[in-house]
Structure formats: C-alpha cells, structure tokens
C-alpha cells in the first residue's frame, strides 16, 4: 500500500496541535525535526480538501509526496535513532548496536508504516507509566497496537497473555513481525476496528495509545473488557484534553491513578471500580 507524506513547516507548539488534528483525520505516523512535521496517511484515505481545511486555519503550507510501500524502509532508516526511556526501556532497529547495560528492557522495532517507535511523546509516556505497573501474570489488551511496541513490552514485563488489535492490516503485519523479532510468543495480534465484539474475555490491564476522539467513543467498551480493579493506561491526547477524558472515564467508574506529561502530550492511567 502506498502512502502520502505531508511535510509542514511549523513551530514546536503548533506541531502538537497538528498531530492531534491530523490523527483525527486518519494520519498515522509522524516525524518531527526542529522546523518541520512529516505526517503519513494511506493513499486511499488521503483527502486534500480535508488537509487544506486543517492547515488553512493555521496559515501554513505543505508539500506532498507519494511513498510506495517498498520505499518505506529507506525513509525510516535514514532518520530512526534508538530511543531510551530513561534507564527502563530502549527501542532500537535491528541494524543498531545492542543497548546492553543501558536499559532494563530492549525492544527491536521495524516500524514500516506503523505508529510506535518511542520517538513520539505519547508512546514515550505510555512506557513511563507502564514502568511502575506490575504486569507479572496479568492478562493485557493493547487497543490500536501499531508496531506492537507496548504489547511486546507488556510481555517483557511478565504478562501471562497479551491480546492486541489494530484497524490496519499493514499495522497487524508489522506488529506480528516485531513480536517475532522480540520472541514475544505470548502476544496475539489480529485486525479489528472496534471493541464491542471483544466480549469473551476480560483483562487486568488495557493499553490504548490512539487519539482523543477514539478514546472518548470507546470509553464504555474499554471499561466492559476490564476486570474489576483493572488498570486502563491511555494516551494520544493533548494536555487540554484531560478534563474531557477524565469526565468520560468517571461516567464509566474509571478513576484517575497516575499521569505523565511530555511535550504537551499526556498519558493517563485509570482504575476500574
């Protein structure tokens, strides 16, 4: 599947806003430099009128490039550097040197077109919140797994079972490859676009690094598949989204536990009562 890459020149504060708005419009995967934001979307989902409407409000221009699936490795290999989440977790590509002695847990990721290398603040903050959670023997669900990075980490932290879904077939393929590369044999991944048909299993921990609108729309479904006393860890939201997320969670008897803030992006955890 080919993708469209949109490059926008924007200051740091505006990049965060654009990532949130473009995520809502179907863009999946972002790269940031000091002066630009690059956003990726499947060519079949690209709507130039929608893009122009978003960018017009901010007074910024863009350039557009079509990237064939076969060329994606060259794109990310040119810019992908290892990510260290403090001394807890390191994320690297297979061509990087091992991170032995630098972190407790090492994950090898080939992202292709999937979201989740640890570079973005949301993934980084999710990992930080996971650091202080006891995953030993727990059953875990990863909603919108992307590269599979959080599901893989959950297994490394001792989860007995990790189920994961993503709406995109290419993300599922990529996450399966990454799970195999990390020897994550207790991770099961399949394609699905909603949670309302996940009814035969309840989980101790639910991970959801998606975006504000999907989180709000699925808060009730997430609560239904959490065990009593279970933990929901979510991100993909800006700092100003916190009141809406907390309110929606409270309506489902999900109550705030901890949070992590990085570059205006927020990760939150909730306990199910």
Q: What average pLDDT does the segment 217-226 reach?
A: 94
Percent of the chain with pLDDT over 90: 54
Higher pLDDT residue, 116 or 181? 181
Position 179 confidence tier, pLDDT thresholds 50, 70, 90: very high
Position 169 confidence tier, pLDDT thresholds 50, 70, 90: confident
**Same fold for the pair 3-77 and 83-272:** no
DSSP state string for the chain: --EEEEEEE--HHHHHHHHHHHHHTT---EEE-SSEEEEEEEGGG--HHHHHHHHHTTT--EEEEEE-GGGHHHHHHTT---EEETTTEEEE-TTSPP-TTT-SEEEE---TT-S-SS-SHHHHHHHHHHHTS--TT-EEEEES-TTSHHHHHHHHTT-SEEEEEES-HHHHHHHHHHHHHTT-TTEEEEE-S-STT--S--EEEEEEES-HHHHHHTHHHHHHTEEEEEEEEEEEEEGGGHHHHHHHHHHTTEEEEEEEEETTEEEEEEEE-
Position 74 confidence tier, pLDDT thresholds 50, 70, 90: low
Lowest mean per-residue pLDDT among 10-14, 21-25, 48-52, 154-158: 10-14
pTM here is 0.78
**For the chain, what are the domain ranges?**
3-77, 83-272
On the question of pLDDT at 31 being above 80, the answer is no
Q: What is the CATH number of domain 83-272?
A: 3.40.50.150
**pLDDT given for residue 70 in this prediction:** 54
Lowest mean per-residue pLDDT among 25-29, 125-129, 238-242, 247-251: 25-29
Most confident of 32-46, 61-75, 132-146, 164-178: 132-146
**pLDDT given for residue 118 in this prediction:** 58
- Model pLDDT for residues 193-212, shown as the tens digit of each residue: 788 777 678 999 999 998 88
Return the CATH fold of 3-77. Answer: Alpha-Beta Plaits (3.30.70)
On the question of pLDDT at 82 being above 90, the answer is no
Position 34 confidence tier, pLDDT thresholds 50, 70, 90: confident
Higher pLDDT residue, 23 or 272? 272
Percent of the chain with pLDDT over 70: 91
């Amino acid at each position: 599947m080919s993708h469209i890459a949109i490059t926008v020149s924007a200051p740091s504060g505006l990049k965060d806003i654009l990532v949130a708005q473009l995520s809502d419009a179907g863009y999946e995967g972002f790269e940031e430099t000091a002066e630009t934001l690059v956003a990726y979307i499947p060519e079949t989902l690209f709507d130039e009128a929608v893009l122009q409407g978003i960018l017009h409000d901010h007074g910024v221009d863009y350039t557009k490039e079509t990237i064939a699936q076969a060329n994606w490795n060259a794109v990310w290999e040119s810019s992908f550097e290892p990510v260290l989440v403090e001394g807890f977790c390191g994320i690297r590509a297979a061509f990087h040197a091992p991170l032995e002695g630098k972190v407790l847990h090492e994950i090898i990721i080939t992202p292709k077109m999937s979201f989740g290398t640890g570079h973005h603040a949301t993934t980084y903050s999710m990992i930080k919140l996971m650091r202080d959670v006891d995953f030993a023997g727990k059953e875990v669900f990863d909603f919108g797994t992307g590269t599979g990075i959080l599901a893989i980490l959950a297994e490394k932290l001792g989860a007995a079972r990790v189920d994961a879904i993503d709406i995109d077939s290419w993300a599922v393929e990529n996450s399966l490859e990454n799970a195999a590369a990390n020897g994550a044999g207790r991770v099961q991944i399949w394609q699905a676009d909603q949670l309302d048909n996940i009814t035969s299993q309840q989980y101790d921990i639910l991970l959801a690094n998606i975006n504000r609108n999907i989180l709000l729309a699925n808060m009730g479904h997430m609560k239904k598949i959490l065990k009593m006393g279970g933990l929901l860890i979510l991100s993909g939201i800006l700092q100003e989204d916190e009141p809406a997320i907390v309110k929606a969670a409270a309506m489902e008897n999900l109550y705030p536990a901890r949070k992590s803030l990085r570059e205006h992006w927020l990760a939150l955890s909730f306990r199910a009562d």
